[in-house]
């Protein structure tokens, strides 16, 4: 039986949070969704030893207080966080943001507005590959 690690969604837009929740419900994904409104909140979640480490992080880039690229830089510099797969979901279509994200080892990059059916396929991949079974990162 697979372990159902939480999914950490780092997103400040309520509509986008609701879209992710809807997609997870639609395919009956049982993982708990943890929402952080910015990079600072996401790091606080990751650093709290009472929180279960997420199996994957879905990350917006354009957020107040601490944006996605800054979060990536900090998270990927910590040994215990750098192995968590991160998929960027952002409105930024700037090539420099895409390049910087991949330089920091993101697992994927989707530009918003996300086509809902394509996002469902990404969520299915999350369920298949990153909800963990006997993977060492879990």
* pLDDT attached to residue 127: 61
Residue 41 has pLDDT above 50, yes or no: yes
Residue 122 has pLDDT above 60, yes or no: yes
* pLDDT attached to residue 133: 46
Q: Are 52 and 72 in contact (CB under 8 A)?
A: no
Domains of the chain, residue spans: 7-129
* pLDDT attached to residue 28: 80
In whole angstroms, give the CA distance from residue 126 to residue 136: 16
Higher pLDDT, 112 or 78: 78
Task: Render pLDDT for 84-94 as a digit per residue (tens, 0 to 9).
Answer: 889 998 887 78
Homologous superfamily of the 7-129 domain (CATH): Response regulator (3.40.50.2300)
Max distance between CA atoms of the chain, in angstroms, equals 41
Higher pLDDT, 132 or 121: 121
* pLDDT attached to residue 126: 63
pLDDT band at residue 23 under the 50/70/90 scheme: confident
Q: What is the mean pLDDT of residues 49-62?
A: 92
* pLDDT attached to residue 1: 32
In whole angstroms, give the CA distance from residue 53 to residue 56: 9
* pLDDT attached to residue 71: 95
């Amino acid at each position: 039986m697979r372990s159902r690690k939480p999914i950490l969604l780092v997103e400040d837009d309520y509509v986008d949070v609701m879209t992710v929740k809807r997609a997870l419900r639609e395919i009956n994904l049982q993982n708990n969704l943890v929402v952080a409104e910015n990079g600072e909140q996401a790091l606080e979640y990751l650093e709290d030893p009472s929180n279960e480490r997420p199996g994957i992080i879905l990350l917006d880039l354009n957020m107040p207080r601490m944006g996605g690229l800054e979060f990536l830089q900090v998270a990927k510099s910590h040994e215990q966080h750098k192995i968590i797969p991160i998929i960027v979901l952002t409105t930024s279509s700037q090539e420099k943001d895409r390049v910087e994200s991949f330089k920091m080892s993101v697992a994927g990059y989707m530009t918003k507005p996300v086509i809902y059916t394509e996002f469902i396929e990404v969520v299915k991949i999350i369920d298949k590959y990153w909800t963990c079974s006997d993977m060492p990162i879990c």
